[in-house]
Amino acid sequence: MSSHYEAPIREPLVTGEKTYHDISVEVGAPVLGRANKTWYVVFTLALIAFLWGLGCIIYTVSTGIGVWGLNKTIGWAWDITNFVWWVGIGHAGTLISAVLLLFRQKWRMAVNRSAEAMTIFAVVQAGLFPIIHMGRPWLAYWVLPIPNQFGSLWVNFNSPLLWDVFAISTYLSVSLVFWWTGLLPDFAMLRDRTTNEFQKKIYGILSFGWSGRVKDWQRFEEVSLVLAGLATPLVLSVHTIVSFDFATSVVPGWHSTIFPPYFVAGAIFSGFAMVQTLLIIMRKVVNLQDYITLLHIEYMNKVILLTGGIVSVAYITEFFIGWYSGTSYENYTYLSFGAATGPYAWAFWALIICNFVVPLTLWVKKLRRNILWTFIVALVINIGMWFERFDIIVIDLSKGRTPSSWAMFSPTFVDIGVFIGTIGFFFVLFLLYARTFPVIAQAEVKTILKSSGEYYKNLRAKHGDDVPHHAESDPTAKEPAANVQQKDAFLGSDSSKSTHEATVNADALGITETQKDQLDAMLARIGTFNPETEKADNLQKLDGVGPVLEQHLHQVGIYKYDQVIKLTKEDYELLDEVIENFPILANRGDWNAQATELKNK
Partner 1 sequence: MASKTIHAIYNDDDLLLHAVKQVREARYHIGEIYTPFPVHGLDKAVGEAPTRLAIASFLYGITGLSVAVLMMNFMMVQDWPQDIGGKPSFSFITNMPSFVPIMFELTVFFAAHLMVITFYMRSRLAPFKKAENPDPRTTDDMFLMEIDATNHNVEDLSKFLYDTGAAEIKLIDNK
Residue from 102, 144, 146, 491 touching partner 1 (CB under 8 A): that is 491
CB of 237 to partner 1, least distance (A): 6
Reduced to 3 states (helix: H, G, I; strand: E, B; else coil), residue 277 is helix
- Determine which helix (DSSP H) or strand (DSSP E) holds 150, and give its type and residue range: none
Residues 574 and 62 sit within 8 Å (Cβ to Cβ): no
Smallest distance, partner 1 to C-beta of residue 580, A: 21
Of 371, 370, 364, which Cα lies nearest the Cα of 280?
371
**With respect to partner 1, which residue has the nearer C-beta, 161 or 357?**
161
Give the integer Cα–Cα distance in Å for 81 and 49: 19
- Taking CB under 8 A as the criterion, the residue among 170, 249, 436, 592 binding partner 1 is 170
Number of residues in contact with partner 1, rule: CB under 8 A? 82
| Rounded (5°) CA angle 541-572-587 | 50
Residue 162 C-beta: closest distance to partner 1, Å: 8
Residues whose CB falls within 8 Å of the CB of residue 354, separated by 6 or more in sequence, listed in order: 380, 381, 383, 384, 385, 387
Closest alpha carbon to 189 in 43, 314, 70, 32: 32
- Dihedral of CA atoms 307, 310, 312, 316 in degrees, nearest 10, equals -170
Residues 448, 39: contact at Cβ < 8 Å? no
Shortest distance in whole angstroms from residue 538 CB to partner 1: 16
Q: Does 204 sit near partner 1 (CB under 8 A)?
A: yes
Q: Is 289 an interacting residue with respect to partner 1 (CB under 8 A)?
A: no
Residues 333 and 388: their CA atoms lie apart, in Å, by: 12
Sequence-distant (6+) residues with CB within 8 A of 300 are 111, 272, 275, 276, 279
Whose CA is closest to 374, among 312, 307, 294, 310? 294
Q: Does 222 bind partner 1 (CB under 8 A)?
A: yes
Q: Quick check: 531 binds partner 1 (CB under 8 A)?
A: no
CA 178 to centroid of chain Cα atoms? 15
Taking the complex as a whole, the smallest distance from the CB of residue 457 to partner 1 amounts, in Å, to 16
Show the binding pattern over residues 461-490: x = contacts partner 1 (CB under 8 A), - = does not.
-------xxxxx----xx---x--xx--xx
Kindly state the smallest distance separating residue 258's Cβ from partner 1, in Å.
Answer: 18
167 binding partner 1? (CB under 8 A): yes
> Binding of partner 1 at residue 5 (CB under 8 A)?
no
Q: Print the binding letters for residues 14-53 with partner 1: x by CB under 8 A, - otherwise.
A: -----xxx--x-----------------------------
Q: What is the residue type of 516?
A: K
Q: Which of 488, 487, 582 is nearest to 542 (CA)?
A: 582
Residues 411-470, interacting with partner 1 (CB under 8 A): 442-444, 446-447, 450, 468-470
Q: How far is the CB of 209 from partner 1 (least distance, A)?
A: 3
217 counts as binding partner 1 under rule CB under 8 A: yes
| DSSP reduced 3-state for 74 | coil
Exactly one of 64, 66, 75, 212 binds partner 1 (CB under 8 A); that residue is 212
Instruction: Decide if residue 177 touches partner 1 (CB under 8 A).
Output: yes
CB of 356 to partner 1, least distance (A): 30
Q: CB of residue 226 vs partner 1: minimum separation in angstroms?
A: 5
Q: How far is the CB of 25 from partner 1 (least distance, A)?
A: 9
Q: Which of 113, 191, 516, 552 binds partner 1 (CB under 8 A)?
A: 191
According to CB under 8 A, which one of 96, 115, 241, 275 is a site residue for partner 1?
A: 241
Instruction: Give the phi and the psi of residue 483 in degrees, each rounded to 5.
Output: -60, -40
Query: Which amino acid type is present at position 506?
Result: A
Closer to partner 1 by Cβ: residue 44 or 105: 105
DSSP code of residue 355: I
> Per-residue x/- mask for partner 1, residues 113 to 152, rule CB under 8 A?
--------------------------------x------x
Integer Cα distance of 302 and 150 in angstroms:
54
Is residue 102 near partner 1 by the rule CB under 8 A? no
Residue from 29, 57, 96, 234 touching partner 1 (CB under 8 A): that is 234
